Homo-oligomer: A and B are copies of this chain.
Amino acid sequence: MALIVQKFGGSSVADVERVMNVAAIVTDTYRKGNDVVVVVSAQGDTTDDLIEKAAEINPKASKREMDMLLSAGEQMSIALLAMAIEKLGCPVVSLLGWQAGMTTDSAYSKARIKKIDTSRIIAELDRHNIVVVAGFQGLNKYDDITTLGRGGSDTSAVAIAAAMHADRCQIFTDVEGVFTADPRKIPDAIKLKEITYDEMLELATLGAQVLNNRSVEMAKKYNVELEVLSSLTKVPGTVVKEVTKMEKMLIRGVTKDTDVARIAVTNIPNTPGIAFKLFAKLAQKKINVGIILQSVGRDGTKDITFTVSKDNAEAAMEAVGNIFSIEESNIACDTNVAKVSVVGAGMESHPGTASRMFEALYEQNINIEMIATSEIKISVLIDAADADKAVEAVHKAFFEERK
């Protein structure tokens, strides 16, 4: 007998049939003798519909009232799921975020969990109830409802699993697990049995939208064993855990991110503090920067090239223009780029990873515009038109022998 936390996203409970399907998964787990805590998001498009409704009334509504509004979405889904579980004959109780003891700070719409008082959950498990908890929501010190922001239900689930010392936290999605590449595009993509937290973090950041990043960070911090799996097929998913004896794989996956703009600033006077001023300004405007490259240009001037997401490109260009008294022709923005990356803790001890990746690209005649590396990741910036071809080639180079 184990304590299992199961999290189901909005699409998993979008309609009556899917709610019943989730109830079947939950009651199956319960009937095998496990204690089960279920964390659930709002049904399907509920949250988007509510946001739209609010915008019609007041596009500048306060975040406190938005949180009051949106948290109703999960309230409805926990009640409906509890009813479905009742129908399948298991004892169940639904709990709102605050009833489950979820305390957050007061940053409405993107609150952070501060503490979980698990006494109510424990009491309900002691009564042999399945406990269905509303994800995405908590209560601040003023007794007001907060939401954790998009993807917050993952965080709720991991936080509860951590606080309850659960044996496993299962994140059910509409994919079967974490793949070595996007299986819709690369038919040879392999589902990973296991992956480390750090690898998962790099993959999540790089556009493999399976798990919310904050939840993986939290899982790593509290050593919560995660499993990503599908609510529609009954096959094991991918387990995310601390590295121990994992199957030997050089890399875990190849990802593509097309939401990238490259900004190149050339001919910057070579005075101290230039990079500091630039990136401080960007940080102040809350613009996240991806890859940064600095090189020495002509006549001892500097060139700085960096990437931002596409919707930040204009603001970043403006910030750069405000700082440097240089000609406009020296600031260039290119949005026709894509970032292709390989991720894997195994590459640390394999110096050949980068060269194998670059060789694969070279064979396809793909030009590399920028390169950035970390201990477990190699990213290259290439022409957006080459992105899919690049992923295919790189994936083949690393995984062909496994097939």
Contact = CB atoms under 8 A, between A and B. Distances in A.
Interface of A: 16, 19-20, 50, 53-54, 56-58, 60-62, 64-66, 68-69, 71-73, 75-76, 78-80, 82-84, 86-87, 93-94, 96, 99, 120, 143-145
Contacts of A64: 93
Contact of A16 (B57, B73, B76, B82): B57
Contacts of A73: 72
A54 B68 contact: no
Contacts of A78: 68
Given A94-B65, A143-B99, A83 B58 contact: yes
13 contacts: A16-B57, A54-B80, A57-B80, A58-B83, A60-B87, A61-B83, A62-B82, A66-B79, A68-B94, A72-B75, A72-B76, A72-B79, A75-B75
A57 B76 contact: no
B99 A57 contact: no
A19 B57 contact: yes
A58 B72 contact: no
Given A60-B86, A62-B83, 10 more contacts: A16-B56, A53-B76, A54-B79, A62-B82, A65-B83, A68-B79, A72-B72, A72-B73, A72-B75, A120-B143
A80 B86 contact: no
A83 B65 CA distance: 7
Nearest to A20: B57
Nearest to A62: B86
A66 B80 CA distance: 8
Given A56-B16, A57-B19, A75 B68 contact: yes
A8 to B, nearest CB: 15
A57 B83 contact: yes
B80 A53 contact: yes
A54 B72 contact: no
A56 B75 CA distance: 18
Contact of A86 (B50, B61, B76): B61
Contacts of A69: 75-76, 79-80, 83
Nearest to A94: B68
Contact of A83 (B54, B84, B86): B54
Contacts of A93: 64
Contacts of A61: 83, 86-87
Given A20-B57, A56-B16, A143-B120, A86 B68 contact: no
A179 B72 CA distance: 38
B50 A65 contact: no
A151 to B, nearest CB: 22
The residue among A71, A73, A80 with the most chain B CB atoms within 10 A of its own CB is A80
B94 A57 contact: no
A247 to B, nearest CB: 41
